[in-house]
Chains A and B, each alone.
Chain A
């Protein structure tokens, strides 16, 4: 615990974040370029879905990241509530808009994919509905963070919402197994191994890594920006009072 605590110190964190940011940025560019090239130009069409399958290379990583970011917000919120680490609060605050964007992208690409394949833009099945609830949880979290003048109260309210909403994550994951849905069951993260041909799985995984490094890049930038803003606020206060 002691060693992790070291990076919970904002100054040490700033140094580390500054070192990681360019790596995250360049890996994002590299992985997304490789993933998009393979996915759009150098991978086979699907035996059933034809060229439409290429929607998967954006849709699936977006949905994964939407869930991953939410777990990140919930864990940070728990650490912030229980151990009162200021950096955990900042991480939750920095992550939720990014997660919301991924969630919106997953819903949007899913809708664009659903029309040609299923024959509808939207249905109220368990997977689609639970994913829409995830977007509302993100929006609620962001709204609560801005709903109070007192920062600590805002953080507390938002953290509690984030923790309550974490129940939705296993529901999203297993919705396609617990109930029958129009959405297909899991293709990649399943008990008996992926049901995707390796020529399609590779671009998908490259895109997923690229989405993850993108998140790391943006989250670090946002946390750094937040720490600097706090410092400026403190200096201003001192000037006014001094």
Chain B
């Protein structure tokens, strides 16, 4: 074996071993690397009410209500399987709306998530408003067609 071949195999082997080690570490720390838990995951966990957690999901359609004091907002976060009600006092991000992704940071107390921070999460789709509207109309149109077929 020539010296440069020996160096090549050494570098390749070292990188392989390092990659394996990093993969194992990341698998072991999965719980700590994820940024938030879904309502389903949150339901399966033993949650201590003093522990700060992040809850992520979609704001359920029609679930946003403002409390009588005018600053407390209540809404429901869903992962389409399970839901958790959220209570938040503060300023919501501009992107916050029904059907939008959110990540709430706070504590889960007696089944209600008391958030002290709400962040908006958006998806990977980018398009002009007209296209979004056209897609929405097409969706409605498809539903209508299916409804009329069902009748």
Name the contact of A195 in the complex, choosing from B36, B96, B126 (C-beta under 8 A).
B126
Select A186's contact among B56, B92, B124, beta carbons within 8 Å.
Answer: B124
Residue numbers in A under 8 Å from B93 (CB-CB): 117-119
The answer for the CA separation of A185 and B35 in the assembled complex, in Å, is 14
Beyond A48-B95, A179-B30, is A197–B127 a contact (Cβ under 8 Å)?
yes
- Least CB distance, B138 to chain A, in whole angstroms: 14
Range, interface on chain B = 35 or more
Complex: A49 Cα to B95 Cα, angstroms: 8
A166 adjacent to B35 (CB under 8 Å): no
Does B42 belong to the interface (CB within 8 Å)? no
Q: How far is the CA of A184 from the CA of B95 in the complex (A)?
A: 14
Residues from chain B with Cβ under 8 Å of A196 in the complex? 125-127
Alpha-carbon gap, A82 to B7, bound state (A): 5
Total interface residues on A, using CB and 8 Å? Answer: 42
Proximity string of chain B (94-125) to chain A, C-beta cutoff 8 Å, 1 when within and 0 when not: 11100000010000000000000111111111
Quick one: which of B25-47 are within 8 Å of A by CB?
26, 30, 33-36, 38
> Could you tell me the distance in whole angstroms from the C-beta of B92 to the nearest C-beta in chain A?
8
- Asked if A144 is an interface residue, CB under 8 A from chain B, the answer is no
Say if the beta carbon of A24 comes within 8 Å of chain B. Answer: no
Cross-chain contact A182 with B131 (CB below 8 angstroms) = no
Measured CB to CB, the closest approach of chain B to A201, in angstroms, equals: 8
> Cβ of A53 and Cβ of B126 under 8 Å apart?
yes
B-binding segment of A28-36, A39-47, A135-143, A233-241: A39-47
> In the complex, which residues of chain A have a beta carbon less than 8 angstroms from the beta carbon of B7?
81-82
B22 CB contacts on chain A under 8 angstroms: 167, 171
Interface residues in A43-90 (C-beta closer than 8 Å to B): 44-49, 53, 56, 78, 81-84
Is the CB of B62 closer than 8 A to any CB of chain A? no
List A contacts of B120 (CB < 8 A).
117-119
A-B CB pair tally, cutoff 8 Å: 114
B19 closest partner in A (C-beta): A167
Please determine whether A163 and B95 come into contact, CB atoms closer than 8 angstroms.
no
Minimal beta-carbon separation of A63 from chain B (angstroms): 14
Contact of B128 among A45, A78, A119, A126 (CB under 8 A): A45
Contact status B127-A47, CB under 8 Å: yes
- Residue pair A180, B56 in contact (C-beta under 8 Å): yes
In the bound complex, do residue A185 and residue B123 qualify as a contact, i.e. CB atoms below 8 Å apart? Answer: yes
A190 CB → nearest B CB, Å: 8
A4 CB, nearest partner CB in chain B, Å: 15
* Beta-carbon contact of A180 and B35 below 8 Å: yes
CB-based contact B122/A49 at 8 Å = yes
B-side contacts of A84, CB under 8 Å: 4
**Complex interface: chain B residues within 8 A of A178 (CB):** 26
Interface membership of B11, Cβ < 8 A: yes
A109 to chain B, nearest CB (A): 16
Question: In the assembled complex, how far is the CB of residue A231 from the closest CB belonging to chain B, in whole angstroms?
Answer: 27
Binding site for B on A (CB under 8 A): 44-49, 53, 56, 78, 81-84, 116-120, 123-126, 163-164, 166-167, 171, 178-182, 184-187, 190, 195-197, 199-200
User: Residues on B close to A: CB < 8 A?
Assistant: 4, 7-8, 11, 14-15, 18-19, 22, 26, 30, 33-36, 38, 56, 92-96, 103, 117-133
